[in-house]
Amino acid sequence: MTVAIGSVPAMAGRIAEPEPGCVLGAAQRAVAPRDRDALSPAQVRGMLGDLRRILLAKFGTADEAAFDPARRPAVAAAAFAINRLGGKIVIPVRFHVITNERLGRVPKSRVVRQVAALNAAYGGRTGGADTGVSFRLTSVSVTANARWFTRPKQNERAMMTALRRGGRGTLNLYSAVVGVEVLGFSTFPQWYRGRPGLDGVVVDYRSLPNGGTAHFNRGYTAVHEVGHWLGLLHTFENGCVPPGDGVADTPDEAAPTEGCPAGKDTCPAPGADPAHNFMDYGNDDCMREFTPGQARRIRASWAAYRAPVGLAARTRARTQSG
C-alpha cells in the first residue's frame, strides 16, 4: 500500500560494480557505520577514468575545475541547468517511507528535517565547503511492506521498480530497516546508464534526525550516502594506496574513523586523516565538512552523469570558445 503525502548519451563499456552497500571489519561493526561498498583500486581507477572520458567527450575538457560556477559561470549554467536565482544545482527529492505497519512510519516533519540536514551539509553551513548543491522535497510516500522494510537490499529491485519516480537528476531516498551493522547504501552516478531503475539511496529510518541510533541520528547517514549518489568515494578508499578517493584535498587515510578522535594520521603522505569529513565513518557529532575538491568532483559528476540530456553540445561550444 502506498500513500502519497504533500505536493508535489550512452557510452560503450560497463563500470564494474561492487555489491551496493561497505565491507566492514569487526572494529567498524561496533559503531554501526553507514554502508558496505568495497571498491578495489582497479574499480576506482575505472570509475575515475570513466568520468574523465565522459567529461572530455561531452564538454571538451576533463578539468573538474572548469565546472566551477565562480570560474566559468556560463559553462556551469549550461552544464548543470542550475537555478539562476540561487546559482545552485537544485535536486528534487522523492522520499519513500517504508514501514511494516507497526514500525518505520516516519512523519513528514522528520523527512523535512532530513532534507534540511542535506541542505546544511551540502551548503557549507556545518563548517565545510559549499558544494553548490541544494535539495527540494517534492513528494513523500508511505508504503507498508514488511519484506521491503526488513530486507530492503534483498528486495531492492521490486521496491525501486514499484516506487522510483523521476529521471537521472531526481534523488529517490528510501527509509527502512537497513541493519545494525550497516545504516545505508547507495548507487553511484556511473551506474545509472546500466541500471536506471535501481538508482537511489536507502537509509535506516533510525538514522534520520532525532532517530533512535545513538551517535548516528543527525541525518548524516543520508548526507554520506547521497555523497556516493553524487559521485564521491570514501575518504579512506583503498587506504594509503593510490588513487585513494581521487580528490586532492582529502589526505590519504588507512582506515575508517571510529567515534570522534581528537586527531588521526594513518598514512605517510602529508596531511592528517579527514576524520570530520562526511565521506568518512565518524559519529554524526564528529562530521561537519566536504572539501572544495569534493565540491568540484560533485559538480563534474553531475555534469557528466545527472544533468539534463541535451546540454552537452551547447556547453562544449561555450567551453571551446573560452
**What number of CA atoms fall less than 13 Å from residue 44's CA on the CB side?**
20
* HEC assignment per residue over 246-305: CCCCCCCCCCCCCCCCCCCCCCCCCCCCCCCECCCCCCHHHCCECCHHHHHHHHHHHHHH
What does each C-alpha distance from 134 to 2, 64, 85, 212, 289 come to in angstroms?
A: 27, 19, 12, 26, 15
CA 261, CA 285: separation in Å to the nearest integer? 11
- Which of 17, 19, 181, 225 is catalytic? The answer is 225
Query: Is 181 assigned a catalytic role?
Result: no
Q: Give the ranges where the chain is alpha helix by DSSP (H).
A: 26-29, 41-59, 73-80, 108-122, 146-150, 156-163, 220-229, 292-301, 312-321
Dihedral sign for Cα 195, 4, 204, 293, please.
positive
Distance of CA 165 to the CA centre of its chain: 18
Which residues neighbour 54 within 8 Å (Cβ) at sequence distance 6 or greater?
A: 11, 304, 305
- Closest by Cα among 203, 44, 56 to 118: 203
The residues carrying an active-site annotation are: 225
